[in-house]
Structure 1
Amino acid sequence: MTHFPITVPTALATAFDLDPEADDWGQAARHAVGTANGETYVLSGLWRHVPYRATGPERDRGFVCQLITRHAPDGTTLATAVIADETPGGGAPSAIRRGGEGNLTLLPDGAPVLSSKPGNTYLLTPELDRLQAAWQMDERPGWSDEPQTDDPFAATVAVTPGGRLLCLTSEHRLENWGYPRGNLIAVSEPGAVLAPGRKPELRALATLKTETKRQTENDAIAHVRFGDAPVLGDHRPAPSLADTLYARHGSSRFRRDGSFLHRPVPLADDLYVVPVFGGTYRSGSRGQAFSFALMDDRGTVRGELGGLDLHAHSPYNGAHYRVAADPHRGTAFHLNRYGLYAWTADGTLRALIGTDRAPFKALATLELLTATPTGDLLLFHPKHHLVLRVPVPADLAELPAAVAAVLAGLAKGRNALKKRHAPLAWLWLDTAGAVHHL
């Protein structure tokens, strides 16, 4: 199916007393991952706002939860995992922390992995009915000298075609930051396994920043290693990504406080896209430095996804930082307010679909979720809470025609779904799929 809705279990909406026609709730897809047989796992957020000064019962009506929904190839909801600090009905809070910028991946055995900042990683069953293992990172203040008692793994995880784990991991006491920041690109060796009781070592490939003079032995994370010891202080890959990109572009923004990494994704077993951003300004950041660097599995920057203008194609407006990749076909994709872009593995821009012309203006309102093993791009419609599936042609130059066809069929497909689900205010309720509170 070209379009399918992100559903909410009817029982959950009832428990939260969610009124679809009120204007105090929201829903958004955060990330997704596809399986080889066409199923899709979607990570989404569901919330209700209450006034800032609300007290008593009115304040208690506010909630924030995350949902992981498993969809069949035809879009049917198979199961939903609920992650909430307070389970409706007085149940125990979720064993999963609601971290920042959550992301999904699938291990070679089909088990979903949920990761979030600063270093929380959760291994689930494919049926979403059980949490198999958890590794968590405490946001220990940078001024604290207490020894670490947490057991982190990674802030983001992606899996290469050969089963290696490509990760972004966080460090304490970077520059003047008081809490851990994503700073290291690291990868597992072939054959490494993430499983209950088994956390593989990660080999550090690159570091964004190197100012770690405040770090102590308490800040070492044992499983992220450079050479024969954990990354700590000056013991880390060099030169830094900030210095490498400064040498390539001459922009000091990569070196300054506030630059950051986004989730790296594999283009092959030994080639990765690493999104690097020069930081944001309150007054607007369009035109500021960014790079989609191409890095090999030795940590060397081999090039970049090319053809982008810092101003005309800026991802900063709307915070569109995600790059999606299909390593089985060696293609990479990015979507922001100004266009949809597609590259081959050597960094050559093969398609640039501008959102300033018909019939592609609707792309400016959509968000990129992922590229699937079946050769599709998944996009999210934030107003109608729909996932759009775009089949990617073998020749990326034909991608504009494929996108145009999907956009042309959006209204018809949406109307067909409305007849089947009868949503209110674009809240798509589901009574069929299993619901699990993790």
Structure 2
Amino acid sequence: MPLVLPDSLVDIHRIDLAAPYSVRTSGGWGVEPLDVAAAPRGDVYALYILYRYTPGVEDDEPDPAVGNFRYRIITRYSPDGVPLATALCCPSHTGHWTSAVADGNEMTLCVLPDGVLSVNSHPDCTTLIAPDLSAVAATYRTEGRRAFEEFVPGDPFACSISATPSGRLLCMTTEYGVQGYGSSLANIVGVADGPLTADHKPSIRAVASFDPEPDRQTEDDLRPHVRFGGRAVGLRNRPRPALREIFEPGAARSKWALSEIYRPVAMSDDLFVVPMRARRGSRGGAFAFALVNDEAESTGRLQGMDPWKDSPFTGECFNVAAGGGRAFHLNRYGLFVWNADGELAVNLSTDDKAFQPLKNFTLTTCSPANELLLVHARQHLILRVPVPEDLAGLGTSVEAALAAYRKERTALKKQWAPIEWHWVQDGAQVHRL
């Protein structure tokens, strides 16, 4: 499935598809994949960024062929991989529409049990979008809190959402003052059992925290919809011991100072994986994929990864996916699969020639049909890898998927005639959200 660029967007901004990428600070343009989500009915959604930055160009440059820009793009695909619709949101440049989608960092997708698409970002911003990408149904938005700035309450929900097999919502929310920072950072993992709609925002019951005692909180930092022990999370009320305390009890926090958690995923309705890492780390640095249940109890971690040989710090690969009672992780050194007890069941090493191409992919999610969805960041393509019931056959399934990728990529090139792996869709249906 290609990450499509609408032809109208390419024409308006006169994008040179053959121009090489460059880092944002020194100029250039780029396409960056962010997330992929799958619906139970088989539809797939992809979220990615298109941007251009040219040093010396003023922010108010009126000519779209010259000016800097950034869009977040969402594309919906049919179960057989055909792009059905594309939506643009959160434009950064002037002179265009005001987006109803709450913009923010670390934006992710989730298909809710009723089929509505949820777009989530830091700090605790959630936007509900119609399944066909035609309209925004509701926006829960907040600016969070920052040091030395006036507090504005807003209407927050969560900075990430994942659906459990039965449709519970596994959420991550932020708190002010985590590890002493004067901003809102991810710190709470919780479960919401009610529906999230335009008319109803359910309570989130906290089941884990990362930092046990964020600094300098006030009554403003209480989030009434995030609860623990029957009271709003904040000040001194959150699950204890915190994950950082569990994984380095009694220590001076040397390994976990300046650390963070990533988006949690559900192995089942009541067992969750929470990736955590030392923020200032390199290969061999501290990380863990913690296991937490819905009774606010830590049940250990995913076992079997060597901190050096299997390090996710190479390439910054900390995503975990879950499906069928298993957890999956892909980094530059291999594809890892765990059972519900946290035991490593499969390790497909990229030292093996058959699996070396996996180094070029990023794992995003596991679909309800038990397919791993991988994104090739340079070729801007999504690959589906079926996960067999018997994990002994996973290696064969991965090899077959990689072979199919090469074959289908050739067919797509003939159909789309991409320039430098940029897939421009002629006459694309585009919604501005």
> Shorter chain as normaliser: what TM range?
over 0.9
Paired residues in the alignment total: 423
Does the 8 Å CA contact 1:242/1:254 hold for their aligned counterparts? no
Alignment match, 2:273:
273
Q: Which has the higher contact order (CA 8 A, sep 6+)?
A: 1
Does the 8 Å CA contact 1:360/1:404 hold for their aligned counterparts? yes
The CA distance in 2 between the partners of 1:68 and 1:375, in whole Å, is 22
Going from structure 1 to structure 2, the CA distance change for 1:253 and 1:308 (only over 3 Å counts) comes to farther
Alignment match, 1:323:
320
Aligned partner of 1:404 among 379, 388, 399 = 399
After superposition, give the CA deviation of every residue in 1:70-91 in whole Å (9 maximum; x if it has no partner): 0012211111110132579x43
Give the Å deviation of 1:350.
1.3
Aligned partner of 2:200 among 181, 185, 198 = 198
The CA distance in 2 between the partners of 1:71 and 1:304, in whole Å, is 35
Aligned pair 1:66/2:61, yes or no?
no
Alignment match, 2:184:
180
Alignment match, 2:420:
425
Alignment match, 2:262:
262
Alignment match, 2:142:
137
Alignment match, 2:341:
346
Alignment match, 1:82:
88
The CA distance in 2 between the partners of 1:84 and 1:317, in whole Å, is 31
| AA in 1 matched with 2:206 | A
Q: Which SS does the other structure have where 1:286 is aligned?
A: coil
After superposition, give the CA deviation of every residue in 1:347-372 in whole Å (9 maximum; x if it has no partner): 12111111122021111121111110
Aligned pair 1:298/2:295, yes or no?
yes
| AA in 2 matched with 1:321 | F
Give the Å deviation of 1:254.
5.5
Q: Which SS does the other structure have where 2:248 is aligned?
A: helix
Going from structure 1 to structure 2, the CA distance change for 1:432 and 1:402 (only over 3 Å counts) comes to farther
The CA distance in 2 between the partners of 1:414 and 1:434, in whole Å, is 23
Q: Which SS does the other structure have where 2:115 is aligned?
A: coil
| AA in 2 matched with 1:305 | L
After superposition, give the CA deviation of every residue in 1:174-205 in whole Å (9 maximum; x if it has no partner): 3320110100111113xx01111311111111
Going from structure 1 to structure 2, the CA distance change for 1:43 and 1:253 (only over 3 Å counts) comes to farther
Give the gaps of 5 or more residues in structure 2: 21-27
Does the 8 Å CA contact 2:180/2:214 hold for their aligned counterparts? no
Give the Å deviation of 1:255.
4.2
The CA distance in 2 between the partners of 1:174 and 1:277, in whole Å, is 15
Does the 8 Å CA contact 1:31/1:103 hold for their aligned counterparts? yes
Q: TM-score, normalised by structure 1?
A: 0.92
Does the 8 Å CA contact 2:175/2:184 hold for their aligned counterparts? yes
Query: Counterparts in 2 of 1:94-113, with a 5 A limit?
Result: 94-113=99-118
The CA distance in 2 between the partners of 1:213 and 1:116, in whole Å, is 23
Alignment match, 1:360:
355
- Over the aligned positions, Cα root-mean-square deviation in angstroms equals 2.0
Does the 8 Å CA contact 1:243/1:255 hold for their aligned counterparts? no
Q: Which SS does the other structure have where 2:32 is aligned?
A: strand
After superposition, give the CA deviation of every residue in 1:323-382 in whole Å (9 maximum; x if it has no partner): 0011xx101110111111111111121111111220211111211111101111111111
Going from structure 1 to structure 2, the CA distance change for 1:251 and 1:416 (only over 3 Å counts) comes to farther
Aligned pair 1:167/2:167, yes or no?
no
The CA distance in 2 between the partners of 1:37 and 1:159, in whole Å, is 14
Give the Å deviation of 1:251.
8.8
The CA distance in 1 between the partners of 2:317 and 2:19, in whole Å, is 28
Does the 8 Å CA contact 2:70/2:93 hold for their aligned counterparts? no
| AA in 2 matched with 1:36 | P
Q: TM-score, normalised by structure 2?
A: 0.93
The CA distance in 2 between the partners of 1:139 and 1:302, in whole Å, is 31
Alignment match, 1:212:
214
Does the 8 Å CA contact 1:254/1:277 hold for their aligned counterparts? no
Going from structure 1 to structure 2, the CA distance change for 1:86 and 1:239 (only over 3 Å counts) comes to closer
Does the 8 Å CA contact 2:72/2:91 hold for their aligned counterparts? no
Query: Counterparts in 2 of 1:34-45, with a 5 A limit?
Result: 34-45=38-49
Does the 8 Å CA contact 2:175/2:214 hold for their aligned counterparts? no
Does the 8 Å CA contact 1:86/1:94 hold for their aligned counterparts? no
Give the Å deviation of 1:16.
2.0
Give the Å deviation of 1:158.
0.7
The CA distance in 2 between the partners of 1:87 and 1:434, in whole Å, is 22
The CA distance in 1 between the partners of 2:255 and 2:166, in whole Å, is 32
The CA distance in 1 between the partners of 2:247 and 2:130, in whole Å, is 40
The CA distance in 2 between the partners of 1:358 and 1:138, in whole Å, is 47
The CA distance in 2 between the partners of 1:100 and 1:333, in whole Å, is 24
Going from structure 1 to structure 2, the CA distance change for 1:419 and 1:291 (only over 3 Å counts) comes to same
The CA distance in 2 between the partners of 1:412 and 1:255, in whole Å, is 45
The CA distance in 2 between the partners of 1:265 and 1:50, in whole Å, is 38
The CA distance in 2 between the partners of 1:253 and 1:187, in whole Å, is 30
After superposition, give the CA deviation of every residue in 1:10-47 in whole Å (9 maximum; x if it has no partner): 11221222121122321122111112232101111111
| AA in 1 matched with 2:126 | T
After superposition, give the CA deviation of every residue in 1:236-294 in whole Å (9 maximum; x if it has no partner): 2111111111149x7934542x111100011111111111112224xxx1111111111
Give the Å deviation of 1:130.
0.5
Give the gaps of 5 or more residues in structure 1: none
Alignment match, 1:235:
237
Between 115-124 and 79-88, report the one with greater CA deviation: 79-88
The CA distance in 1 between the partners of 2:338 and 2:410, in whole Å, is 33
The CA distance in 1 between the partners of 2:230 and 2:263, in whole Å, is 26
The CA distance in 2 between the partners of 1:372 and 1:251, in whole Å, is 40
Instruction: Spell out structure 1 runs of 4+ moving beyond 6 A.
Output: none
Does the 8 Å CA contact 2:329/2:335 hold for their aligned counterparts? yes
After superposition, give the CA deviation of every residue in 1:109-152 in whole Å (9 maximum; x if it has no partner): 111101011211010100101100111120431233x3433111
